[in-house]
């Protein structure tokens, strides 16, 4: 399987030696479970797209510090590309910004949440389980870093999992689109870096809660297996 990673942001240069760019994080996460996977990276923030939509089998949309409702040409272009992928039932996995962009592009709405910042490790719970799920615990722990949230879901979307803080945390459209608000590709050390960098922005109370949450490990490998199950189905 060949996966196209739609890169929507750059990691701060001082962090790249330790954590890589966002596509590197996905390649490390998924490649560790399936060495046969191949990847192509498209920097859509810089206008890079595949010459042929079918040159890869599926697409992953990464996270970004941008908001999907910002009036930026590259965001509008990416929404158009998502609508084309959707019309052709091409598989998409959207992560954080990617989760929100899919919703916004396909009839939903994203806003800055009145609940404030979500950082550190959050627990989300499945209310219904899809075929790609492992059938184990309905709850799972995932690293998050977001202030925007999906307020209205995309047309035809099913909400599979959420929490009191984030109701629309895992959504699926048909058998070809799966999106997560959280970041399975993050490692706790990178989550800590972001929180420390944004400490004043997110507020001391949320910062301290976020740091404390990192004492528990995210279920990144479990979530990665769900993603691969979904893509392979």
Contacts of 22 (CB under 8 A, 6+ apart): 5, 7, 8, 9, 10, 11, 62, 63, 185
Tokens for 222, please give them.
Answer: 């479990």
Residue pair 121/143 in contact (Cβ under 8 Å)? The answer is yes
User: Which member of 21, 45, 86, 96 is catalytic?
Assistant: 96
Alpha-helical segments (H) within the chain: 16-19, 22-31, 73-87, 97-105, 188-197, 199-202, 204-213, 220-232
Of 45, 185, 193, 219, catalytic:
185
- Side-chain-side CA neighbours of 212 within 13 Å: the count stands at 6
185 tagged catalytic: yes
Measured between alpha carbons, how far is 26 from 18 in angstroms, rounded to an integer? 15
Q: Cβ-count burial of 229 within 10 angstroms (0-12 exposed, 13-18 middle, 19+ buried)?
A: middle
The CA radius of gyration of the chain, in Å to the nearest whole number, is 16
183 classed as catalytic:
yes
Give residue for tokens 């400490």.
Answer: 199
Q: Which of 21, 183, 193, 219 is catalytic?
A: 183
Catalytic site includes residue 171: no
Neighbours of 200 (CB within 10 A): 8
CB within 8 A of 149, min separation 6: which ones?
Answer: 100, 110, 111, 113, 115, 166, 167, 168, 181
Show which residues are catalytic.
96, 183, 185
């Amino acid at each position: 399987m060949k996966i196209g990673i739609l890169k929507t942001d750059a990691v701060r240069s001082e962090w790249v030696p330790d954590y890589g760019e966002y596509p590197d994080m996905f390649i490390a996460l998924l490649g560790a479970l399936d060495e046969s996977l191949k990847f192509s990276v498209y920097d859509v923030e810089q206008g890079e797209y595949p010459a042929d939509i079918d040159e890869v089998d599926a697409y992953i949309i990464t996270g970004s510090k941008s908001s999907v409702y910002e009036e930026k040409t590259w965001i509008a272009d990416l929404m158009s590309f998502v609508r084309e992928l959707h019309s052709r039932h091409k598989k998409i996995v959207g992560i954080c910004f990617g989760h929100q962009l899919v919703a916004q592009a396909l009839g939903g709405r994203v806003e800055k949440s009145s609940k404030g910042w979500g950082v550190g490790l959050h627990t989300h719970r499945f209310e219904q389980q899809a075929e790609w799920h492992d059938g184990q615990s309905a709850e799972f722990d995932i690293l998050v870093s977001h202030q925007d949230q999906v307020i209205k879901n995309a047309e035809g979307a099913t909400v599979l999992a959420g929490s009191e803080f984030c109701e629309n945390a895992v959504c699926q459209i048909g058998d070809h689109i799966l999106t997560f608000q959280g970041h399975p590709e993050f490692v706790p050390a990178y989550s800590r870096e972001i929180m420390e960098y944004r400490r004043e922005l997110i507020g001391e109370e949320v910062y301290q809660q976020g740091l404390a949450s990192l004492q528990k490990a995210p279920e990144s490998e479990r979530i990665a297996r769900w993603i691969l199950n979904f893509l392979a189905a």
